[in-house]
Structure 1
Amino acid sequence: MARAVKKNQVPAVRRPEVRLPELLPFEDGVLESEGDYDALEFRELDFAGQEGRGARFMDCGLYAVALDETRLGRARFMDCVLEGVRGVGTQLAEVSLRDVEIVDARLGGTQMHGSVLERVVVRGGKIDYLNLRKSKLVDVLFEGCVLVEPDFGDAGLTRVEFRDCVLKGADFSGTTMRDVDLRTVAELGIARGVERLRGAVISPTQMLDLAPVFAAAMGVRVEGM
């Protein structure tokens, strides 16, 4: 039976349960569009500029892989671990991530607009200018990571928690939130869309810190006598 949620309690994120089988090393060297990759280990490989659009990764581990300008639009990752991946300008538009752990990633300008993330953990690392516009996030945990100017414009967030992470210059314009937990964010900076926080939970201290932003969004001027 599902555990009952007490009144005013934020429902917990349902975490992925990734148990990788014994993996075989990936030896082809080149990704393929619409390729099928099952139970493979991708370790310290350079996929910069390669095309893997529509590829399917199931029960795979990607470790210290370079993804600069790699084109993986509409790819599907299921029951996968991505650890230490790095890259600038990685194209992941309309990608599907289900039961995925992303650990210590170093990414910049990653394009993930129109994507679907379900039961995903992003732990550690730093991601600059992450584009998640018009994406759907369900049961997603951002933990101990740094997100610089992430764009959640027009996205739908359901049971999403930002735990012990840094959120700088976030754009929540047009975002729809349900059971989004921001209470333990170490640094919370919202550039746009503060009025879209309905459905989110923040701490009293965060409320005080965000008071000027809320006032500006409401057109209220705060001045001393």
Structure 2
Amino acid sequence: MEFRDFGDRRLQLPSVERDDLTDERPTLRGEIDLAEAHVQYGEHAAHTGEGSITKSVLSGLNLSETVYAPLELSDVVIEDAELSNAVWRKTTARRVRFARCRAIGWQLQLDKATDVLVEYCRLDYGSLRLDRVANVMVFYRCTFRETAITGDLSRVVFADCDLAGAEFDAAQATGCDLRGSQLAGAQGLLTLSGATISTEQAVSVAVQLATECGLRVED
């Protein structure tokens, strides 16, 4: 097992050995049942389907405008993928890593997320809903311009992310860690009660918080 540490949080990475995988060219539509496969550079735009992907690596795929529901991911790496305008509902993710993905307009609903890492991804102009997070979910160096972020954020870490323009509507946020991320310009900060931010961040969002509280700020 391999782990990554983010402050005091430890995230378990997907348990998948690339050398043991079989190169495949599945359609990723209809009934999906993919296991122990390495899928590279396929065109799957606008496909619809449901099913499961386990112990697999998906590299360089065009998954834009896909509609998947329900979808179960377990020990999966999705890297360098195009996810723009995709709609993934009723998704369960266990030990999943998204890396360097372009996901503009992606609508993602996670029923349950366990040890999920999303890093170096563009998640602008989309929506992210988290219903339940077990252990931890980490967003590392991602952008969220005008993205709606809702649900249970209590075990979520935003590390070095650009959240300017993001719109929060958290049901819970105790334990959420936002330190190191850009918060100026984010909306819905009052829903993040219990989250951790730095002193520097507190200063940068003071006016925004005051405005959301109904205060009038004047020089």
What is the CA distance between 1:166 and its match in structure 2?
Answer: 1.1
Distance 2:152 2:36 in 1: 31
Structure 2 partner of 1:192: 187
For residues 26-37 of structure 1, the aligned pairs below 5 Å read 26-28=24-26, 30-37=27-34
Distance 2:8 2:49 in 1: 34
Of Structure 1 and Structure 2, the greater strand share is in 2
5+ residue gaps in structure 2? 1-5
Tell whether the 8 Å contact from 1:88 to 1:108 is kept in structure 2 after alignment: yes
- TM-score, normalised relative to structure 2: 0.88
Structure 2 partner of 1:7: none
Tell whether the 8 Å contact from 1:115 to 1:132 is kept in structure 2 after alignment: no
Greater C-alpha Rg: 1
Whichever residue aligns with residue 119 of structure 2, its letter is: R
Distance 1:159 1:41 in 2: 30
Cα distance, 1:80–1:174 mapped onto 2, change above 3 Å: closer
Cα distance, 1:134–1:146 mapped onto 2, change above 3 Å: closer
Q: Is 1:208 equivalent to 2:173 in the alignment? A: no
Tell whether the 8 Å contact from 1:152 to 1:175 is kept in structure 2 after alignment: no
Tell whether the 8 Å contact from 2:130 to 2:153 is kept in structure 1 after alignment: no
Q: Give 2:169's match in structure 1, choosing from 150, 169, 173.
A: 173
Whichever residue aligns with residue 95 of structure 1, its letter is: T
Q: Give 2:41's match in structure 1, choosing from 20, 40, 44.
A: 44
What is the CA distance between 1:161 and its match in structure 2?
Answer: 1.0
Distance 1:106 1:66 in 2: 10
Distance 1:27 1:182 in 2: 39
Q: Percent identity?
A: 27
Tell whether the 8 Å contact from 2:127 to 2:149 is kept in structure 1 after alignment: yes
Q: Is 1:161 equivalent to 2:134 in the alignment? A: no
Whichever residue aligns with residue 40 of structure 1, its letter is: A
- TM-score, normalised relative to structure 1: 0.86
Q: Deviations over 1:138-188 (max 9, x none)?
A: 4111112222222123x0012211111211212222431121111111x21
Q: Give 2:143's match in structure 1, choosing from 140, 146, 153.
A: 146
Distance 2:14 2:110 in 1: 24
Structure 2 partner of 1:5: none
Cα distance, 1:112–1:179 mapped onto 2, change above 3 Å: same
5+ residue gaps in structure 1? 1-9
Cα distance, 1:96–1:109 mapped onto 2, change above 3 Å: same
Structure 2 partner of 1:13: 9
Aligned residue-pair number: 211
Whichever residue aligns with residue 204 of structure 1, its letter is: T
Structure 2 partner of 1:23: 21
Tell whether the 8 Å contact from 1:70 to 1:91 is kept in structure 2 after alignment: yes
Q: Is 1:103 equivalent to 2:99 in the alignment? A: yes
